[in-house]
Amino acid sequence: MIAFRHADPRFPFLHESAGTTEGRWNRAGKLVHCFSDTPDGAWAEFLRHEEITDPEDIPHIRRALWAVEVGDPPPARPRLATDTLTGGRSTWAVCQEEAARLREAGEAGLTAPSAALAPGGAHGFRVEGGERPGPPRDGVTIVLFGSRPDLIGWQAAADGRPDAELLRRVRHF
């Protein structure tokens, strides 16, 4: 499977050591890599995390977008309510606890609904009488635990930004 991830263009697409910040699936000091099943999902994660809601801010974004070969998505699924899986920062501690439970059980990662994309917010495009939106689908987040030197990434955009239209499909904080 090819998954997508945004990154600061000055740095590699994966971290090599655990950072001091936390996220939905990681406590500070734990090395976790999060990917999206679509470029829309990766961009939505960035927009949500940075709390970007104004289309006027989009032209100032400069991020690398990576396509990363992650293999089969992890089969582990969090046992949490959808409202928790897609909730705001107040739900992170519960998600972190679930990720820790799965990691301790020997799982290499997990697959969960995208917290950043609204339901049906992921879609590609097709060409039929011009460019048309493809069918809507729900976004997925792929979380991999620990160091992952086995992953291969291709830079899809070195200095890119999302389409401002995506803002209306983001589940903002």
Q: Does the pLDDT at position 118 exceed 90? A: yes
Those residues whose C-beta lies under 8 Å from the C-beta of residue 114, and which sit 6 or more positions away, are 36, 37, 41, 44, 45, 86, 121, 122, 138, 139, 140, 141
Confidence band, pLDDT 50/70/90 cuts, at residue 13: very high
Q: Does the pLDDT at position 20 exceed 90? A: no
Q: Does the pLDDT at position 73 exceed 90? A: yes
Q: What is the DSSP letter of 74?
A: P
Mean pLDDT for 142-167 is: 96
Question: Residue 34 phi/psi, 5° resolution?
Answer: -110, 135
Mean pLDDT for 109-136 is: 95
Name the least confident of 19-23, 51-55, 121-125, 154-158.
Answer: 19-23
Mean pLDDT for 79-90 is: 97
For residues 130 and 141, what is the distance between their CA atoms, to the nearest angstrom?
30
- Please report the beta strands in the chain, taking only residues with DSSP state E, as ranges in sequence order: 2-7, 32-36, 63-69, 109-113, 125-127, 131-133, 140-145, 152-160
Q: Does the pLDDT at position 36 exceed 90? A: yes
Q: Does the pLDDT at position 19 exceed 90? A: no
